[in-house]
Amino acid sequence: MSVFSFFRAWFLTIGLVCTALPLHAELPELTIKHSTLTLISENDKYFAGTDRHYTNGFKLTWLGETDLNESADFVKFATHWLPWMHQDKTDWHYKVGFALGHNIYTPSDISTPALQPYDRPYAAWLYGSILLQAQVDNQLRLIELSAGVVGPSAMGQQVQNSWHDVIHVAHAQGWANQLHDELGLQVSWERRYRTWQLAPDATAPFGCDLILRHRVTLGNVSTHLAGGAVVRLGWHLPTDFGADLIRPTGGSAPNGGVPRRFTAQVYASGEVRAIARDIFLDGNTWRDSPSIAKRPVVADLSLGFVLSWPSFQIAYTQNYRTKDFYGQPQRDVFGSLGISFSR
């Protein structure tokens, strides 16, 4: 199966989903008030110029907003039984959605076919997700359940080298040493809180706020605890929870409905993760495979901006990550570009 067949099948699936779930539709037993389609591309070529470690990521997400009393039975069941979602109030706003994502990881030297035991192994992760979000006032609760495959079936080699053909870069030579095929499953719970806000008004359109978050992720792909904060400064700052990277419960969509006017913001965010398992460093769960000794604590620092118009948003983030594994000579930098369409 060529990479072109992969993307043809991918976009055919997307087309079928979009046909069945248009941006503004009433589904059986589920009324969608607003919906958002978001595409995020991350790459270490974006204002970094490297080609190593976490080198590329894509995530396509559809999210639709609904009231609980207008939701399908599975949404009502999930909100009642899933941790962090159960509540007895009627003023919560819910979103349900789906995502398709693909991540690629390589060592620093991609010019050699030899195994590099002291660097990050080659790996790719192709997955689909089901998402559920609940928002009230200044609090957002998120759950994402992801399932997919790590290994050759994730087609990291085909995607990377086909793209290298497009940009006239030499192929990565070491994909024969990638992780073996393994089914991946992970579930993440996250809460975000707007703990402080200087709200704009008609005479002072500039505003700023502080958003805190914490997350738990469990699974054979990743198991970690995370905590972070976001500071935003903007023109007509929206009462949402900001843009985010591709990570569990992240990189999904703007929250809070469709923007009604032009808004602009800059932001700085940080996150610290205590990591128990990372398949892309620890290697396969049940088979011997390339691996490297991971660092148990990793942090991200992100700087970015968001521009929003009615029905459209563009966001860019430059992310600085501390070293992932022992012996890593340099920290990593990558860029994240997100485009969203809402109705």
Taking only the tens place, the pLDDT of each residue in 42-99 is 999 898 888 899 999 999 999 888 765 555 565 656 666 666 665 555 567 788 889 9
Residue showing tokens 């990479």:
3
Model confidence at 8: pLDDT above 90: no
Dump pLDDT digits (tens) for 144-193. 999 999 999 999 999 999 989 988 889 999 999 999 999 999 999 999 99
Q: Give the domain range for residue 264.
A: 3-342
Measured from the Cβ of residue 19, the count of other Cβ atoms closer than 10 Å reads: 8
Tell me the percentage of the chain whose pLDDT exceeds 90: 57
- Structural domain count, the chain: 1
pLDDT of the residue at 239: 80
- The yes-or-no verdict on residue 41 having pLDDT over 90 is yes
Query: pLDDT digit string (tens) for 94-115?
Result: 888 899 999 999 999 999 999 9
Region 303-307 average pLDDT: 95
Q: Return the pLDDT at 1.
A: 44
Q: Is the pLDDT of residue 228 over 80?
A: yes
CB of 102 closer than 8 Å to CB of 96: no
% of the chain exceeding 70 in pLDDT: 79
Average per-residue pLDDT for the chain? 84
pTM confidence score: 0.87
CATH classification at residue 246: 2.40.128.140
Model pLDDT for residues 17-28, shown as the tens digit of each residue: 444 444 444 444
SS (H, E, C) the chain: CCHHHHHHHHHHHHHHHHHHCCCCCEECCEECCEEEEEEEEEECCCCCCCCCEEEEEEEEEEEEEECHHHCCHHHHHHHHHCCCCCCCCCCCEEEEEEEEEEEEEECCCCCCCCCCCCCCCCEEEEEEEEEEEEEECCEEEEEEEEEEEECHHHCHHHHHHHHHHHCCCCCCCCHHHCCCCEEEEEEEEEEEEEEEEECCCCCCCEEEEEEEEEEEEEECCEEEEEEEEEEEEEECCCCCCCCCCCCCCCCCCCCCCCCCCCEEEEEEEEEEEEEEEEHHHHCCCCCCCCCCCECCEEEEEEEEEEEEECCEEEEEEEEEECCCECCCCCCEEEEEEEEEEEC
Res 2 pLDDT > 60: no
User: 131 in the Ramachandran plot: left (φ > 0), alpha (ψ -120 to 50) or beta?
Assistant: beta
Residue 90: per-residue pLDDT: 59
CA 42 to each of CA 100, 116, 295, 316: distance values in angstroms, whole numbers, following the listed order: 14, 25, 23, 10
- Cβ atoms 124, 221 nearer than 8 A: no
pLDDT band at 299 (very low <50, low <70, confident <90, very high): very high
More confident residue, 182 or 1: 182
